[in-house]
Amino acid sequence: MEDLGALTLIPTLIVFTLAILTHRPIESLITGSLVGLVMIHGSGFVGGFAEASIRVMTDDDVAWVILVCGFMGSLIGILIRTGATSSFTALMSSYVRSEKTALMATWGLGILMFVDDYLNSLAVGSAMRNLTDKYKISREKLAYVVDSTAAPISVIIPFSTWGVFFAGLIVANGIAPEGEGFATYISAIPYMLYAWVAVLMVPLVISGIVPSIGPMKTAETRARTTGHTVPASAAHIEAANQSIKPNPDVKPRVSMFVVPMTVLVLATLYFDKDFLVGIYIALGGTAIYILVTRMLSMNDTFDTIVDGFKMMIEPLGVLVAAFILKDVNDVLGLAPYVVTAMQPLLTPESLPAVVFASMALVSFMTGSNWGVFVIVLPIVTALANSLGADIVLVIGATLSASTFGSHACFYSDATVLTAQASGCTPFQHAITQIPYALIAAAISVAGYLLIAYL
């Protein structure tokens, strides 16, 4: 396409405007995508929408996301049906005595689920809902704690799906020679400032050193004074989460939660950090064990697997709509436009801070944590080389920006999945979390400038 300049921002701005007005992400994303397709195809935008939809649905990464999220829902459904989740919650209850310890336990469990942000968002949110309800903690607060240990933890602990993806990207862009991508990634971890700040801010929020702000304060007041931990407009999400009930004929066992989750983590690590393979092994092994021990009947087992997958339909709908918007923005050239617009501000010292700010904006606007960086990393690398900037510091800034997008955007994958598992809408989660994300982003910018100029 011809260079549209600032007009490339129009579809995404429409998405945000509609989301604020309607609080409905799917409709907002589709409307913004259609406007972008009109800009691209004119009167042929309907055909363009069909082409974009097919392109998205046949993309390997999108298929991976659908399978991962759907079968993770199936695994969670099995754990609920066998009473494993309620048994794990009961065990945690014996150690948790207050609101603060409930949230700190959530934070700690999130750190343990470092292998993938999807695993973190879905498993921790599902496991801790009932426990945090006991202490009148709003689902929005639960979602914030869960999400703050999703992408941020998966970024700074390199033995994760994020580490594998970005290490490969580093080699593919010539930043490191073959076989050295992982080592280069590890060297950049100290400079992933946003991830560090986001994770370490959680205990400060839990302890009250950083107080509840804005919409989060409203949510916490509602939960504390009325006991309504689930926001009224998220009743349909809570209904979906509660659609699978424990089988009263099955004796709950903590091991039925701990063992499948341990197998999931270990299998993912063993098979080259492939989370989908890990889920297949964990879900398949759990189903076989249930059938062999006759814990559930065959019909009950496979009905639950299907129902668990169906539980993820709404968040998957949001994610597919977000991928279509990303496809439209890729054609419009949104990411290169933002990078080009920031070039006049660049010096070797300012590059890390500018890269973080601009890429955080792109990731936030597109809802894409990985895909957008396939496009922009070559540009960022070329800028770093031409200016003589510290490439490791720039990589850290780039990955921090990706983490911000995952953490803050209301239609990013981690936000959508965290909201589903925690029992609130993606918009409610994002609007209550954004003040803390912006504080972490501001600290990160200051940190990059301090490192560069000292």
Query: Is residue 96 domain-resident?
Result: yes
Query: Is residue 84 domain-resident?
Result: yes
Query: Is residue 82 domain-resident?
Result: yes
CA distances 337 to 4, 8, 196, 214, Å, are 9, 8, 29, 33
Distance CA 353, CA 452 (A): 9
Distance CA 82, CA 77 (A): 9
pLDDT of residue 241: 87
pLDDT of residue 1: 62
The pTM of the whole model exceeds 0.75:
yes
Residue 245 per-residue DSSP state: -
Q: What is the pLDDT of residues 52-91, one digit of tens each?
A: 999 999 988 889 889 988 999 999 999 999 999 889 888 8
pLDDT of residue 2: 65
Query: Is 415 in contact with 429 (CB distance < 8 Å)?
Result: yes
Which residues of the chain register pLDDT less than 50? none
Query: Is residue 443 domain-resident?
Result: no
Give the domain range for residue 124.
Answer: 60-157+212-219+232-313
- Using alpha carbons, select from 343, 345, 431, 332 the residue that is nearest to residue 372: 332
Query: Is residue 86 domain-resident?
Result: yes
Query: Is residue 64 domain-resident?
Result: yes
Element of type H or E holding 95: none
Query: Is 172 in contact with 378 (CB distance < 8 Å)?
Result: no
Handedness of CA 29, 418, 138, 423 (dihedral sign): positive
- Using alpha carbons, select from 300, 135, 159 the residue that is nearest to residue 223: 135
Burial label for 251, CB within 10 Å (0-12, 13-18, 19+), is exposed
Total domains in the chain come to 1
Q: Which residues contact 354 (CB under 8 A, 6 or more apart)?
A: 342, 345, 346
Distance CA 453, CA 446 (A): 11
pLDDT of residue 226: 94
Which letter, b or e, does each residue of 326-346 get, where b requires 16 or more Cβ atoms within 10 Å of its Cβ?
A: bbbbbbbbbbbbbbeebeeeb
Query: Is 359 in contact with 371 (CB distance < 8 Å)?
Result: no
Query: Is residue 78 domain-resident?
Result: yes
Distance CA 229, CA 220 (A): 8
- Using alpha carbons, select from 243, 151, 248, 234 the residue that is nearest to residue 196: 151
Q: What CA dihedral angle connects 414, 418, 420 and 425, to 10 degrees?
A: -90
What are the structure tokens assigned to 265, written together?
A: 């983590």
What are the structure tokens assigned to 40, written together?
A: 């691209």
Query: Is residue 113 domain-resident?
Result: yes
CA distances 233 to 230, 301, 427, Å, are 8, 31, 11
